[in-house]
Amino acid sequence: MTIHIGAEPGQIAETVLMPGDPYRARWAAETFLEGAELVNEVRGMLGFTGTWRGHRVTIQGSGMGMPSLSIYVNELIRDYGARTLIRIGSCGAMQEGVALRDVILAMTASTISTPSRGIFRDLNFAPPADWSLLHAAWEAARQKGVTTHVGGIYSSDVFYDERPDHNEQLVRHGVLGVEMEAAELYTVALRHKVRALAVLTVSDHLLEGEALPSHDREKSFGDMVEIALAAAFS
Ligand code: HPA
C-alpha cells in the first residue's frame, strides 16, 4: 500500500494503462481484460488488474491534471515496479487537419509548468515519448484503420484558459492538441528509465468549436485502449 494506492505489492502489473477518469478505467478493464480485479479504490481512483492475451495489465485512473497524475505515476513506478505506462485520454485538437475521433500519439509535450518544473529551473525540458511504444502504437493504429497523427502536444494546467493569444502561438507552431497530463507522465518516466506514451482521442476541436457527443466517445475510447494494449505488448 502507498498513500494513494491501496493495492498489495504484486497486485499491480508492470504495464499500466492510465485514463484520467476512474469510471473509464472500470469500463476498459471490464471490456478488454480477462479476470479483472479491483486493486485500488482509495479516493475513488479505481484501478483494476487482469490479463490481455495472457499478459498482465493494470488499468488505473490518473485523475485530471498533472499534479494528480504525478502522484499515481510516482507511486506506480517507485513502489509497485511499473515499467510501461500509457496514458489513454482525450484532447482538444489545435490543427485544421486533425478531426474529431482521430488519434494523436504525442511525440513530446510542451508545458508552462509541471510538478517537475522545480528540477529544471530555467531549462525548458522537452520530454519525449518512448520510441518503441510510439512506433508500435502507430503500427497498431494503422492496422485498425484509425486516422492517426504523430507530433507535439500541449499539456496545460488549466482547462478554461483565459489567455486567447496563448493558443494562437501553439497553433502557429504546429501543436496538434491540448490535454492536461502527458508532459509530467513523460518526465517522471524518463527520470526512472521506464517507458511512457500518451495515446489521445480527439474529443473536441479548439478551432472548429465542435465536440464529440458523449455516446460517441465510447467507440473512440475503445480504439485507443486496443492501440495502447497492442503497443505495450508488440
Ligand atoms: N483542453 C484541455 N484538456 C482537454 C481538452 C481541452 O480542450 N479536451 C480534452 N482535454
pLDDT in tens, 42-89: 999 999 999 999 999 999 999 999 999 999 999 999 999 999 999 999
Who lines ligand 1 at CB under 6 A?
Answer: 90-92, 156, 159, 178-180, 203-204, 206
**What percentage of the chain has pLDDT greater than the value 70?**
100
- Would the pTM of this model clear 0.75, i.e. be above it? yes
What is the pLDDT averaged over residues 17-27? 96
State the average pLDDT over residues 97-113: 96
Task: Among 24, 68, 90, say which to mutate for ligand 1: greatest number of ligand atoms within 8 Å of CB.
Answer: 90
pLDDT at 48: 98
Residue to substitute in 154, 159, 214, 221 for testing ligand 1 pocket (most ligand atoms within 8 angstroms of CB): 159
Query: pLDDT for 143-192, tens place per residue?
Result: 999 999 999 999 999 999 988 788 999 999 999 999 999 999 999 999 99
> What are the CB-based long-range contacts (under 8 Å, 24+) for 54-58?
55/13, 55/15, 55/232, 55/233, 56/13, 56/14, 56/15, 57/13, 57/15, 57/16, 57/17, 57/33, 57/229, 57/232, 58/12, 58/13, 58/15, 58/16, 58/17, 58/82
In order of their start, the domains of the chain are 15-232 (3.40.50.1580)
Q: So what's the pLDDT on residue 215?
A: 75
